Amino acid sequence: MTAKLLLFVAICVLGSSSAMWYEMYSRLRKVGINIVMKDQVLPHYLRNRKKHGWPVWPAYLQWPLFIAGVVLFIMGVVRL
pTM for the model stands at 0.87
The total number of structural domains in the chain stands at 1
- State yes or no: pLDDT of 37 exceeds 90: no
Query: pLDDT by residue (tens digit) across 8-33?
Result: 999 999 999 999 999 999 999 999 99
Q: For residues 58 and 46, give the distance between their C-alpha atoms in angstroms, rounded to a whole number.
A: 10
Residue 47 belongs to domain spanning: 3-79
Q: For residues 24 and 41, give the distance between their C-alpha atoms in angstroms, rounded to a whole number.
A: 7
Pair 1, 8: CB distance under 8 Å? no
